[in-house]
């Protein structure tokens, strides 16, 4: 099996689904690039090269470069989905959701419900998120809790290349609108990814480490940090379960609750701003439904409630780090000891 | 290497294994051991298994502590014949470790044995070939839902003396997911075409479960292709099969369901690790796998019964046949072995479930070795 990057895994998922199903199209700003300008066609392939190579294979009829107007092309994608295509629209940075949110939450997310189940909206919005890219506060946010808040949207956070390919193919084949969030500092991560198409079902958390002392629930890039922490603490005799929910909507509450019933301790790691994020949501779930199992207070590891700083030192300090996660795990272990 | 001093090294169980942890020593340092005695337990991310002494003598050095993890090929212990001088053993250890460091570097550079792909009957078939090229090859055929990695405790050991080929059946592992009619005739026919593609005229055939029925079918249809048959908990010898295992394996999509299904395979369900479940789920998620498994299950096990029994035809075979069964098999009843014609050797392994080649690998390897010379 070949090792592939997160970027390659996403590209391969798009290409394979476009080959399999002629109704799958991609659209977004500079998804190919070079249109109407001298020089290379397919000059960009997306701002970080994720869609590179799709236009030469599938043509400009199925790989659409859109104007810099998210409100128009996300709306167009929702309409195309409601009328028979399976569009994958790229919202370059999730930070730009503000200008097209009505199309997502009040249109695409409501069609099935408002039309009595007679409409399907197989729309995928691919979008980059996350800090660590030195891109300042308007290009570094997480924002997935906002989509998670809206019934009718499915929200996916792939944490590795294998996860990215299987979850994206699942997203494209899904008949509901799916927000597919790609963490921009994961694009060059590599792991073994099958060449064949495959799907990972939504709503089942991935158990990436199995332990008996503490449950760490982590999302997106934080899964990688949580795994590092779990491996490091094992030598100190602390054995951690790490759960990656994969999708925040639907959320695999069962796996989280069952794990906390076993370990009695919970640390939730979330890169999103700390108020009303996934850490608060998951903590509330466990506090309400598994309180009796808890041996220590729940700990949340999240950034401070501030825009993502541009100063590199401050940005590094802002992001939940393996050190902070490790300290939280030790704290819940030492509680009452 | 010194005469009478034998290295015990970390084995390589499966392609993905590059290190293992010593969980528990079963023999005290300085105690006598016989070849085949269980020396220690080793844990990998996928599975835990016992490791047997390669030689008789005294376990004169235990070099890795319990809980320690070392790379494949590293020295775990030394078994010395009686009378070996202490200084000689120390020198052996020192020399081994010096050479291992060099060898490990060389091994990291040279490619390990990798699976290959060959076209058989118009379908890409994935296989792993290991061992020496002399003599009649061994061909290992896994069961329903399995793959060539099921032989992780067998292929490396058998490959020390034989040319050993393990393959992924159609619809399984990394082979083509198109399974035609999916019946036994199709599976046996594909095996014949696979042997053709590799230029193997005759082979010692080893089949587990559904793979046992497939190699039996092959030997009956093409008597000249089989040099011997080893059937491990084989299908094809009676009507019963664990219906809930088959439908559970086909239907399970989530980790918990799959773990419960896989636990039926073993006498000790604790052997089912997170990695083992994850590997099976990764396979089952591939496009085409569900359809392939459903087609095979429908053709071979319709309504939860075995469609074909070849038991009456065993007498047609002119080559040696042996049957190995785990007494605690919960998938195919060991009673099928008891109904076989007298004179056919049946080795009942009391401690094993359906996966005797994993749970009692040492014994199964010896039985296969005895059959193949």
Q: Do A201 and B253 touch (CB under 8 A)?
A: yes
Q: Do A197 and B274 touch (CB under 8 A)?
A: no
pLDDT at B107: 61
CA-nearest residue of chain B to A204? B254
Contacts of A194 in chain B (CB under 8 A): 282, 286
Task: Using alpha carbons, list the distances in angstroms from residue B70 to B17, B42, B157.
Answer: 11, 10, 20
Superfamily (CATH) of domain A3-192: Thiamin diphosphate (ThDP)-binding fold, Pyr/PP domains (3.40.50.970)
The span from the CA of B259 to the CA of B278, in Å, is: 9
Tell me if chain A has a CB within 8 Å of the CB of B288.
Answer: yes
pLDDT at B1: 44
pLDDT at A81: 98
**How many Cα neighbours within 13 Å face the side chain of A222?**
33
- 3-state SS class at B336: helix
When pLDDT is cut at 50, 70 and 90, the band that residue B55 belongs to is confident
> Measured in Å, how far apart are chain A's first and last C-alpha atoms?
46
Q: Which value, in Å, is the radius of gyration of the alpha carbons in chain B?
A: 21
Tell me if chain B has a CB within 8 Å of the CB of A196.
Answer: yes
Determine which of B2-6, B109-113, B337-341 has the lowest per-residue pLDDT on average: B109-113
Residues 124-153 of A with CB under 8 A from B: none
Q: Are strands B138-141 and B163-167 parallel, antiparallel or unpaired?
A: parallel
Q: Do B285 and A210 touch (CB under 8 A)?
A: no
**Residue B274: which of A196, A197, A210 has the nearest Cβ?**
A210
Q: Yes or no: is domain A206-334 CATH 3.40.50.920?
A: yes
Q: Which two tokens stand for residue A234?
A: 């094992």
Give pLDDT < 70 ranges for chain A.
none
Residue located via tokens 């105690």: B31
Range(s) for CATH 3.40.50.970 in chain A? 3-192
Is A139 noted as a catalytic residue in this protein? Answer: yes
Task: Using alpha carbons, list the distances in angstroms from residue B199 to B48, B91, B92, B115, B193.
Answer: 36, 46, 43, 17, 10
Does position B70 have pLDDT exceeding 60, yes or no?
yes
The span from the CA of B276 to the CA of B259, in Å, is: 9
Q: Do A199 and B274 touch (CB under 8 A)?
A: no
- The residue of A198, A227, A262 whose CB has the most chain B CBs within 10 angstroms, and thus the best one to mutate to test that interface, is A198
pLDDT at B45: 78
Does position B301 have pLDDT exceeding 70, yes or no?
yes
Between chain A and chain B, how many beta carbons pairs sit less than 8 Å apart? Answer: 25
Q: Do A198 and B286 touch (CB under 8 A)?
A: yes
Closest CA to A211 of A229, A238, A181: A238
pLDDT at B193: 97
- 3-state SS class at A120: coil
The span from the CA of A52 to the CA of A49, in Å, is: 5
Q: How many helices (H) and strands (E) does chain B have?
A: 11, 16
CATH code that applies to domain B5-109:
2.40.50.100
Q: Which two tokens stand for residue A28?
A: 């977004």
When pLDDT is cut at 50, 70 and 90, the band that residue B112 belongs to is low
The full set of domain ranges for chain B reads: 5-109, 116-372
Q: Which two tokens stand for residue B109?
A: 């550079």
Q: Which two tokens stand for residue A108?
A: 């695409």
Q: Report ipTM (2 d.p.).
A: 0.91
Tell me if chain B has a CB within 8 Å of the CB of A236.
Answer: no
Q: Which class is domain B116-372?
A: alpha beta
Highest mean pLDDT among A165-179, B1-15, B112-126: A165-179
Q: Do B285 and A166 touch (CB under 8 A)?
A: yes
Range(s) for CATH 3.40.50.920 in chain A? 206-334
């Amino acid at each position: 099996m070949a090792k592939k990057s997160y970027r390659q895994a996403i590209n391969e998922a798009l290409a394979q689904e476009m080959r399999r199903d002629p109704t799958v199209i991609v659209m977004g700003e500079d998804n190919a690039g070079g249109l109407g300008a001298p020089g290379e066609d397919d000059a960009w392939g997306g701002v970080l090269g994720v869609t590179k190579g799709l236009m030469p294979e599938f043509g400009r009829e199925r790989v659409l470069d859109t104007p810099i107007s998210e409100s128009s092309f996300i709306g167009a994608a929702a309409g195309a989905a409601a009328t028979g295509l399976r569009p994958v629209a790229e919202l370059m940075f999730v930070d730009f959701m503000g200008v097209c949110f009505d199309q997502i939450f009040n249109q695409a997310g409501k069609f099935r419900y408002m039309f009595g189940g007679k409409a399907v909206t197989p729309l995928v919005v691919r979008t980059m998120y996350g800090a660590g890219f030195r891109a300042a506060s308007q290009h570094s946010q997480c924002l997935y809790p906002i989509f998670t808040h809206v019934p009718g949207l499915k929200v996916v956070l792939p944490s590795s290349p294998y996860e990215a390919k299987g979850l994206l193919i699942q997203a494209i084949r899904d008949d509901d609108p799916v927000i597919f969030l790609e963490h921009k500092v994961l694009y060059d991560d590599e792991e073994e990814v099958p060449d064949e198409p495959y799907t990972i079902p939504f709503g089942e958390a991935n158990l990436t480490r199995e332990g008996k002392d503490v449950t760490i629930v982590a999302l997106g890039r934080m899964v990688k940090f949580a795994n590092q922490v779990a491996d490091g603490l094992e030598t100190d005799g602390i054995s951690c379960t790490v759960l990656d929910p994969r999708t925040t909507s639907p959320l695999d509450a069962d796996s989280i609750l069952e794990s906390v019933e076993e370990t009695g301790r919970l640390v939730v790691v979330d890169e999103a701003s700390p108020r009303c994020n996934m850490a608060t949501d998951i903590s509330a779930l466990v506090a309400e439904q598994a309180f009796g199992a808890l041996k220590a207070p729940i700990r949340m590891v999240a950034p401070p409630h501030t825009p993502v700083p541009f100063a590199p030192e401050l940005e590094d300090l802002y992001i939940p780090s393996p050190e902070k996660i490790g300290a939280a795990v030790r704290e819940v272990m030492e509680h009452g000891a | 290497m010194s005469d009478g001093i034998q290295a015990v090294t970390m084995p390589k169980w499966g392609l993905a294994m590059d290190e293992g942890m010593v969980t528990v020593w079963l023999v005290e340092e300085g105690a006598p051991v016989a070849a085949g005695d269980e020396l220690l337990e080793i844990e990998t991310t996928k599975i835990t298994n016992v490791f047997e002494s390669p030689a008789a003598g005294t376990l004169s050095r235990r070099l890795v502590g319990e809980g320690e993890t070392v790379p494949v090929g590293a020295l775990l212990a030394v078994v010395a014949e009686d009378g070996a001088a202490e200084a000689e053993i120390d020198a052996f250890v020192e020399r081994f470790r010096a050479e291992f460091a060099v060898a490990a570097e060389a091994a990291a550079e040279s490619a390990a044995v990798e699976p290959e792909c060959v076209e058989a009957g118009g379908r890409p078939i994935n296989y792993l070939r290991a061992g020496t090229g002399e003599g009649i090859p061994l061909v290992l055929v896994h069961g329903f839902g399995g793959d060539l990695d099921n032989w992780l405790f067998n292929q490396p050991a058998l490959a020390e003396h034989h040319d050993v080929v393990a393959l992924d059946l159609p619809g399984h592992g990394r082979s083509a997911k198109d399974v035609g009619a999916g019946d036994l005739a199709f599976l046996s026919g594909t095996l014949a075409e696979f042997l053709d593609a590799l230029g193997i005229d005759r082979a010692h055939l080893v089949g587990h479960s559904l793979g046992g029925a497939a190699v039996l079918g092959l030997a009956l249809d093409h008597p000249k292709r089989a040099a011997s048959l080893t059937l491990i908990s084989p299908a094809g010898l009676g009507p019963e099969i664990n219906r809930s295992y088959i439908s559970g394996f086909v239907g399970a999509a989530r980790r918990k369901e799959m773990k419960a299904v896989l636990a039926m395979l073993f006498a000790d369900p604790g052997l089912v690790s997170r990695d083992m479940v994850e590997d099976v789920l990764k396979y089952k998620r591939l496009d085409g796998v569900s359809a392939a498994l459903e087609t095979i299950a429908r053709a071979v096990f319709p309504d939860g019964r075995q469609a074909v029994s070849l038991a009456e035809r065993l007498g047609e075979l002119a080559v040696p046949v042996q049957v190995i069964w785990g007494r605690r098999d919960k998938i195919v009843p060991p009673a099928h072995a008891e109904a076989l014609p007298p004179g056919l050797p049946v080795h009942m392994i009391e401690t094993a479930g359906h996966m005797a080649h994993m749970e009692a690998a040492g014994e199964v390897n010896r039985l296969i070795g005895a059959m193949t010379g």
